[in-house]
Amino acid sequence: MVSVQDRPSPASVAVSVRGLTKRYGDVVACSNVDLDLRRGEIHGVLGENGAGKSTLMKVLIGLVQPDSGTLTVDDARVRIDSPARAGALGIGMVHQHFSLVDELRVWENVVLGERERLDARHARGLVESIGEHYGLGVDPDARVGDLTAGMRQRVEIIKCLRRDPSIVIFDEPTSVLTPQESEQLFGVLRLAVERENKAVALVSHKLDEIRQATDTVTILRRGAVVEDGPTARFDQQSLAQAMIGRAVSLRGDDAAALGATDIVVTEATAASGPVTAPTVLAVENAVFDRYGHRVLDGLDLDVRAGEIVGIAGVEGNGQVELADVLSSLVTLDAGTVIVDGVVVPTGRAGAMGTAGVGMIPEDRHDAGCVLDMSVAENLALASVGVGSWLRRVDRAKNEADALRLIDEYEIRCSGPDAPFHSLSGGNQQRVVLARELSADPKVLVAAQPTRGLDVGAIEFMGEQLRAAAARGVGVLLISSELEEILHLADRILVLHAGRIVGEMNRTDADVERIGLLMGGVTTDTTTTEGEADA
């Protein structure tokens, strides 16, 4: 790691932000923010979800117009009113969510949106030369849809770098990467600042990343800069405290939420694995094809009563489909699902729920709620599919149940009749949690349950999952946040390419090994699956 002191030349400021303020209604996303990105330096922007990181970066890339404040690029005052203008000023961004077209080849994606004449040979050469220069090897003729998340990010980076921007912003780039891929990425960033003297901004909410990869850091909290300076000046504790605004123990929940992997791992206590408890969920040899791709490929897993089983893995390796199967949304092509000893037919409407599978879905708006119904109706969804169609809806009971759950789960709403869509995201999540837990499930599946929540809400979710397990519910935690899994799970399964490629107890958890497994490297063979050069 290059520290600020050993930098060869005094860094020149590439972008300077002064007094930037952006309001959305009553919410202040950015308040009087100052930020300097210097050439030859990786600058970390650290903050919780909702701290204003994304808004700040969207201003730099021209997607959001600030209410006040000034922007200076290379000592000239500028107004960045569109991404095209940002591009002309030499600012490029690698987005958190890919902006690639699955059906097109790599080189086609890289030149997509260019105005000059299409030259396939030149474009292929470009992909190869940039790939070679930065160690971002990728086959220019591969179809993007066939690539792993890590390779797709390479394409995204090449697409950004081909315009040779002098200022590059990476927005939460590691959320789709294995730990090893993240390391590689940081190597690329280092190369870009050292060889090309670029200015790089790394946006993250993970302490480890900031400490590992950046030279200087700006910490945002509730839209305002609370600290900035050379990264070396901060230790994990002070970074965390600045980010959250209170002293944190850096133990347990907090550490997991902040992405402090080493602490989570060393802290793991011997899980009293309930090895004698009965199996409440077993998935056997699950096979599922979607659009001709085998997304579940002989997946086996089992969950015992009272334990939390974590499924680690890079997104897009079958997590969504596994959750869909356990929500009765899709029918398996082969394999069985057994809940509490009884085979449950997959894809039959409501069958999983009736059998005792609760679900906290990754996207609650997908199948977890009905936005246009009331809070009370949403809490009673599970009763809709049961019984004769002529049966009267028992509104008095629904309302009484809703009042009880609103109180018990501290759901903030105007009452049981409040339209569900009028609730904030956190309270919508509580409605889902209240409904699923109050149904007394045998199995609770939580798919990316803390995505987008702030630290307080993450802690609440963790407590609820642990409390459910303590009551004897078998909990299946599907998460791409490795810290979350390491922190909560008693047993860890690693999912890669639609099957479980490794299993370990938390006490023997080894981040290195989990990372390799997530990338498809199994311990007994050195050959890789799917991604040859990961």
Tell me if residue 47 falls in helix, strand or coil: coil
Phi-psi domain of 240 (left: phi exceeds 0; alpha: psi -120 through 50; beta: other): alpha
Query: In this chain, which stretch among 124-132, 252-260, 347-355, 498-506 interacts with another protein, using CB under 8 A?
Result: 347-355
Tell me if residue 263 falls in helix, strand or coil: helix
Which residues between 147 and 186 bind another protein (CB under 8 A)?
171-172
* Residue 55 CB, nearest approach to another protein (Å): 7
**Residue 403, interface with another protein (CB under 8 A)?**
no
**Residue 87, interface with another protein (CB under 8 A)?**
no
**Residue 57, interface with another protein (CB under 8 A)?**
yes
Find, among 514, 481, 482, the residue nearest to 496 by Cα: 514
Question: Considering beta carbons, is residue 271 or 373 the nearer one to another protein?
Answer: 373
* Residue 304 CB, nearest approach to another protein (Å): 25
Find, among 308, 313, 312, the residue nearest to 271 by Cα: 308
Sheet of strand 199-204, all strands in order from the earlier edge strand to the far edge:
91-94, 167-171, 199-204, 41-46, 216-221, 224-230
**Residue 137, interface with another protein (CB under 8 A)?**
no
Contact indicator for 323, 362 with CB cutoff of 8 Å? yes
**Residue 384, interface with another protein (CB under 8 A)?**
yes
**Residue 475, interface with another protein (CB under 8 A)?**
no
Question: Considering beta carbons, is residue 195 or 293 the nearer one to another protein?
Answer: 293
Indicate the DSSP class of residue 27.
E
Question: Considering beta carbons, is residue 56 or 263 the nearer one to another protein?
Answer: 56
**Residue 328, interface with another protein (CB under 8 A)?**
yes
Question: Considering beta carbons, is residue 50 or 140 the nearer one to another protein?
Answer: 50
Query: In this chain, which stretch among 57-65, 154-162, 231-239, 262-270 interacts with another protein, using CB under 8 A?
Result: 57-65
160's enclosing H/E stretch is helix 149-161
Tell me how far the alpha carbon of residue 38 is from its chain's centroid.
28
Question: Considering beta carbons, is residue 53 or 154 the nearer one to another protein?
Answer: 53
**Residue 371, interface with another protein (CB under 8 A)?**
yes
Residue type, position 72, single letter = T
Residue type, position 153, single letter = Q
**Residue 323, interface with another protein (CB under 8 A)?**
no
Tell me how far the alpha carbon of residue 261 is from its chain's centroid.
15
Find, among 510, 459, 56, 46, the residue nearest to 236 by Cα: 46
CA 464/CA 470 separation, integer angstroms? 10
* Residue 457 CB, nearest approach to another protein (Å): 9
Among 157, 189, 309, 359, binds another protein (CB under 8 A): 359
**Residue 84, interface with another protein (CB under 8 A)?**
no
Query: In this chain, which stretch among 253-261, 363-371, 409-417, 459-467 interacts with another protein, using CB under 8 A?
Result: 363-371
**Residue 319, interface with another protein (CB under 8 A)?**
no
Among 92, 131, 310, 368, binds another protein (CB under 8 A): 368
**Residue 102, interface with another protein (CB under 8 A)?**
no
**Residue 49, interface with another protein (CB under 8 A)?**
yes
**Residue 397, interface with another protein (CB under 8 A)?**
no
Total number of residues shown for the chain: 534
Question: Considering beta carbons, is residue 113 or 229 the nearer one to another protein?
Answer: 113
Phi-psi domain of 504 (left: phi exceeds 0; alpha: psi -120 through 50; beta: other): beta
Half-sphere exposure of 241 (CA within 13 A, CB side): 9
* Residue 380 CB, nearest approach to another protein (Å): 9
CA 534/CA 529 separation, integer angstroms? 10
Contact indicator for 68, 19 with CB cutoff of 8 Å? yes
CA 40/CA 38 separation, integer angstroms? 6
Residues that bind another protein (CB under 8 A): 24-27, 29, 49-55, 57-58, 63, 93, 95-97, 171-172, 223, 327-329, 348-354, 359, 363, 365-373, 377, 381-382, 384-393, 419, 421, 424-426, 451-454
